[in-house]
Amino acid sequence: MRLTDFKVLTFDCYGTLIDWEGGIFAALRQLVSKVGAPLSRDEVLEAHARHESAQQIITPGKRYSELLAVVYKRLAEDWGVPVGWDECLDYGRTVRDWSAFDDSVAALRYLQQHYKLVILSNVDNESFAFANRKLAVAFDAVFTAEDIGSYKPDLRNFEYMLEKLSARGVAKEHILHTAESLFHDHRPANELGLASCLIHRRHAEGGFGATMNPGVTPHTDFRFTGMAELAEAHRAALAAAT
């Protein structure tokens, strides 16, 4: 299997192209400062993962920014910090402020010369519009949790994407799903027989951070530590083929 075998790259956005964990931790810093016992960055992210994943199962149709408000309320309760609902809503709106990783824009601009680029994201459309401006790329399709009515790792999200791309003449074997989360993305990709590429942003930290432990480690067909490394590997694959 070679990177040049594919025609479409489907991307998770937050955690892969946008610095999801950095955005979460920065937005929670004030709340964390009020907690009696000190919390490490990973402790904060792991607590966020537990509440976010549970809430996505319970309220799959809730818009992501609104779901984040509930997550904030649950974290505050766990940590014994009183908060008002307006503060919770403010946290939900911070998703629009989260930054792109330094290598995302250049890599996407390069890859767009060779592939169709598609987003499959656990986000609402309004929030993604802010991310899209930071990524500075016109994606060929954008599929959000708000569109689908469920959140990854629900197979419904991937089935929806595959159905819409099939209607455009894109076969599953021509798609490479590219993502950081083993839990949200690579495990369901395995279940559906979809080739996948791991962008291992947490390679230096270890652990799972703001994503849940997937249990058994899913298979990935390619593995890179960032988007720049993926783009460079594609350049090398093209050179080898000529």
Q: Are 186 and 198 in contact (CB under 8 A)?
A: yes
Among 140, 131, 185, which Cα is nearest to 164's?
A: 140
Question: Dihedral of CA 92/97/101/105: which sign?
Answer: positive
Residues identified as active-site = 12
Task: Mark 178-188 as b/e (b = at least 16 C-beta within 10 Å).
Answer: bbbbbbbbbbb
Q: What percent helix, strand, coil does the chain show, rounded to 5? A: 55, 10, 35
Residue corresponding to tokens 């083993």: 182
Q: Are 182 and 16 in contact (CB under 8 A)?
A: no
What is the token pair recorded at 29? 């810093």
Among 16, 218, 216, which Cα is nearest to 104's?
A: 16
**Coil, strand, or helix at residue 179?**
strand
